[in-house]
Amino acid sequence: MAVGLADIDGIEAARDVMLAQPLPIVLVTSHFDSETVERAKSAGIRGYLVKPLRAAELSPAIELAIAQFRDFVSLRAENSTLKETLKRASSSKRAKGLLMEQRRISEEQAYTLIKKTSMNMRKPMADVAQAIILAGGFFKGEKS
């Protein structure tokens, strides 16, 4: 992709690709100024080769870009999982607090009530906790 064109250059095209469907991208260009390198980094480009290019340089650059991209995808998935786990834990803690306050029960009793309701309704505990929060803590059911 050409760098420095008026309409859209290779770096802008790479940024658009990364936003639409992230891929491992290696930029091959004759530009090696610091501004171009910074733009490439911010666009998510994984490799940067300067022309004139020797054929032997291309394969290692592509392999490294793919490996870095796989690491990126793995870390992004792990980050997403951790965020979801944190969200569920936060919801569970908040729901327990609401039950403890409204029903004047212990934390263990609140947890048991959420767990029992989850099993009875065949719904994940996170869903039950979210329902308790959305209902403002109003929760019908017997004390555990």
Domain ranges of the chain: 10-81, 83-134
pTM for the full predicted model? 0.63
Look at residue 144 in the predicted model and tell me its pLDDT. 46
Q: For the chain, what is the total number of helices (H) and then of strands (E)?
A: 5, 2
CATH of region 83-134: 1.10.10.10
Please list the ranges in the chain whose pLDDT falls under 50.
Answer: 142, 144
> What residues pair up with 50 in beta bridges, in sequence order?
29
Sign of CA dihedral 32, 34, 35, 37: positive
Cβ distance 42 to 34 under 8 Å? Answer: no
The token pair at 119 is 């099993």
Count other C-beta atoms under 10 Å from residue 2's C-beta.
12
User: Which CATH code fits 10-81?
Assistant: 3.40.50.2300
